[in-house]
Amino acid sequence: MKTLVWLGAGGCGGCSMSLLTAESPDCLTALAQAGIELVWHPSLSALSGTELLATLDAMEAGRQPLDILCIEGALLTAFAGQCQTLGGGEPLVARVARLARVAQCVVAVGGCAAFGGVGAADDAGIGGRGLQFDGDQPGGVLGAGFIARGGLPVVNIAGCPTHPGWVLDTLALLAAHALPASGLDSLQRPRFYADRLVHHGCPRNEFYEFKATAHALGQQGCLIEHLGCRGTQAHADCNIRPWHGGSSCLKGGFSCIDCTAPDFAAPHRQPLTTPKLAGLPTILPSDMPKAWFVALSALSKSATPARLRHNAQSDRLDIAPTPPTGKRR
């Protein structure tokens, strides 16, 4: 069995609560299947606070093994760490730094622990930092050069919140020594989900193909042109591996805000608003020449079926595709 300790830093607990929505299997079954023993989790453990502190002390002293250390929430560093203390006034961030040195693997669960998250905004005044990144810059409280005993840097399961599958799959791979350094992208996110784009498998793809655009929330069309959808840039597999069995933000009728990116909640990232330059959205696919995009868009717009043009600005699919006629068959 691999031992796992999960500590809540300056976050909202949403990644833990999201983890508990896992189905088929549920998270308890998945952890058991992966051979992981949950030594402590703030919501799931019966151990009291004093027993927890004694366990953490034993791990730091090498008397008890710590295989996987999960941190959820930003590390709060303002006021010399007094924004968040753990047991007797010691800053939580100091405890996390000591545990990271003895753990075989260190995992940042969620965008806050990975990059600082919502709490990294300067105006919050809490000095929110990631474990190994400050925003998109390497560093964080452990330093850019940090490598855990098992040989990996901090594994950043970015997302706000994290999909339960991202967390459970990452933990199972780590427990099985099956996540090599090459399995992480440049922001140290597991590539098994971060090499996909939210755009992949988007249920609105037919509207995207023909540039049939929604002008207001609630409409069925593509959300890139007017409603700020960042699905063509967002690294995640939300529309391939849906949420809660079948959902995603796009299926819920609103735009992807790219919550696996370091700065997704920054003030300049106005949600549901498309940033434009010379009338053109600046959130187009990043690896496609813009001129080609414009040319192809013009071409596909001129070929948009009336059905899509209508449905794109309706709150339901009014016009069905026409069945092929006998003659054409």
Q: Is residue 275 a contact residue for another protein (CB under 8 A)?
A: no
In this chain, which stretch among 62-70, 197-205, 229-237, 239-247 interacts with another protein, using CB under 8 A?
A: 239-247
> For residue 116, what are its two tokens?
């600082």
Q: Which of 48, 182, 186, 322 binds another protein (CB under 8 A)?
A: 48
Q: What is the DSSP letter of 284?
A: S
CA torsion, points 78, 189, 154, 11, in degrees to nearest 10? 30
- For another protein, give the closer residue by CB, 6 or 146: 6
Please list every residue from 51 through 80 that binds another protein, using CB under 8 A: 52-53, 76, 79
Q: 109: which strand partners?
A: 72, 157
Query: What's the closest the beta carbon of residue 26 comes to another protein, in angstroms?
Result: 5
Q: Is residue 270 a contact residue for another protein (CB under 8 A)?
A: yes
DSSP letter string, 198-219: TTTT-TTHHHHHTT-B--STT-
Please list every residue from 144 through 163 that binds another protein, using CB under 8 A: 160-161
> For residue 36, what are its two tokens?
């992981």
Q: Is residue 36 a contact residue for another protein (CB under 8 A)?
A: no
Please list every residue from 100 through 139 that binds another protein, using CB under 8 A: 117-119, 121, 123-126, 128
Q: Which of 4, 27, 187, 198 binds another protein (CB under 8 A)?
A: 27
Q: Is residue 197 a contact residue for another protein (CB under 8 A)?
A: no
Alpha carbons 188 and 147: distance in angstroms, whole number: 12
Please list, in sequence order, all residues whose beta carbon lies within 8 angstroms of the beta carbon of residue 171, skipping any fewer than 6 positions away: 4, 31, 34, 36, 68, 70, 107
Q: Is residue 88 a contact residue for another protein (CB under 8 A)?
A: yes
- For another protein, give the closer residue by CB, 192 or 254: 254
Q: Is residue 86 a contact residue for another protein (CB under 8 A)?
A: yes
Q: Which of 200, 251, 307, 309 binds another protein (CB under 8 A)?
A: 251
DSSP letter string, 139-174: -TTT-TT---TTS---EEE--SS--HHHHHHHHHHH
